[in-house]
Amino acid sequence: MQKYIIRRILQAIPILLGVSIIIFALTQAMPGDPLSHMMDPNITKEDLESAREKLGLNDPKYVQYFRWLGELLSGNLGFSTKYSKPVGDLIKERIGPTFTLSLLALTIALVFAIPIGVYSATKQYSKWDNLFTVFAFAGISIPVFFLALVLIWLFALQLQWFPSGGLTTPGVTYEFPKNIFNMLYHLVLPSMTLALLYMASFMRYTRSSMLEVIRQDYIRTARAKGLSEKVVIYKHALRNALIPVITILGLSLPGMFSGALVTETIFSLPGMGTLSYNAVVQRDYPILMATNLMFAIWTIVGNLLADIFYALVDPRIRYD
């Protein structure tokens, strides 16, 4: 087991390097170089050339790549000219809202999706199962931004129950713990949007995984022992059915980040998604590269954790 975990971690390293190479290649493909944005137009060609030389922009590409990688590893993510701040600081400010939103949405989604998935599997093709199936199809087919707009229209504009955007009420500062409640209140609609989206797929995964498990021999054995249906389903079947869902959770991370980007943009939440989006609009490339890198690293680490967790809880699979 220990061997497997170590091997799995080692496997992640070339992927991380590959990610960094792609991001570096994208930086190189960008129009202009750092100097073309900063210098005044009256500068002479010779001065520009010496500045390029000094910054190492004339070095071979691979030298520049390793220099950049070295900076990254020492924690330097670059400097944003638009915000006049190190990119690392900006990301630190923005991580909070994105994680709160994602975790909130994911929790809501799982709390509903797992029981519904179990119910659908135990009552396959029943009226409710069919209804949930239709709901799941709708959920994977609706564009997040359209869902968000409908929710804003209904709950923010018509009923006026929740705010239509932002993370805090503008112009008011609350003391602890009121500020937390104010933030949660602002996060209701965005997290509902994302939760509905995640729910659709997790419901389906739980259902199919559950259907697979309840056909297994050990479930028949459990029933034959005279255990109640409740114990069979929730104790014996569900435990095993949830294992593949963990992997799916890891695999859905990139999709979840994409969803968060759109949701944050529509609800103008100050998270990583809006940071990337504004960076695109303002052509702030250092930020863009850093956010791409962060999202990719989170995805890789998320998948790594999911795999390791899978190996820990499923003794049927031998990894050697």
Q: Where on the chain is the footprint of another protein (CB under 8 A)?
A: 14-15, 18-19, 22, 26, 29-31, 134, 137-138, 140-146, 149-150, 152-153, 157, 164, 207-208, 211, 253-255, 257-258, 261-262, 265-266, 273, 276-277, 280-281, 283, 288-289, 291-292, 295-296, 299-300
Q: Which one, 29 or 224, has the nearer CB to another protein?
A: 29
CA distances, 175 to each of 64, 163, 179 (Å): 48, 20, 6
3-state helix, strand, coil in the chain (%, to 5): 75, 0, 20
Q: Which one, 31 or 226, has the nearer CB to another protein?
A: 31
Cβ 145 to another protein shortest distance, Å: 5
Local structure of 167: helix, strand or coil: coil
Q: How far apart are CA 81 and CA 179, in angstroms?
A: 32
Cβ 80 to another protein shortest distance, Å: 15
Element (H, E) at 169: none
Q: Which one, 100 or 273, has the nearer CB to another protein?
A: 273
Cβ 299 to another protein shortest distance, Å: 5
**How many other β-carbons are positioned within 10 Å of the β-carbon of residue 106?**
20
CA distances, 165 to each of 21, 151, 173 (Å): 37, 12, 17
Phi, psi of 24 (to 5 degrees): -65, -40
Q: How far apart are CA 55 and CA 49, in angstroms?
A: 10
Q: Which one, 136 or 232, has the nearer CB to another protein?
A: 136
Cβ 240 to another protein shortest distance, Å: 16
Cβ 276 to another protein shortest distance, Å: 5
Q: Which one, 26 or 111, has the nearer CB to another protein?
A: 26
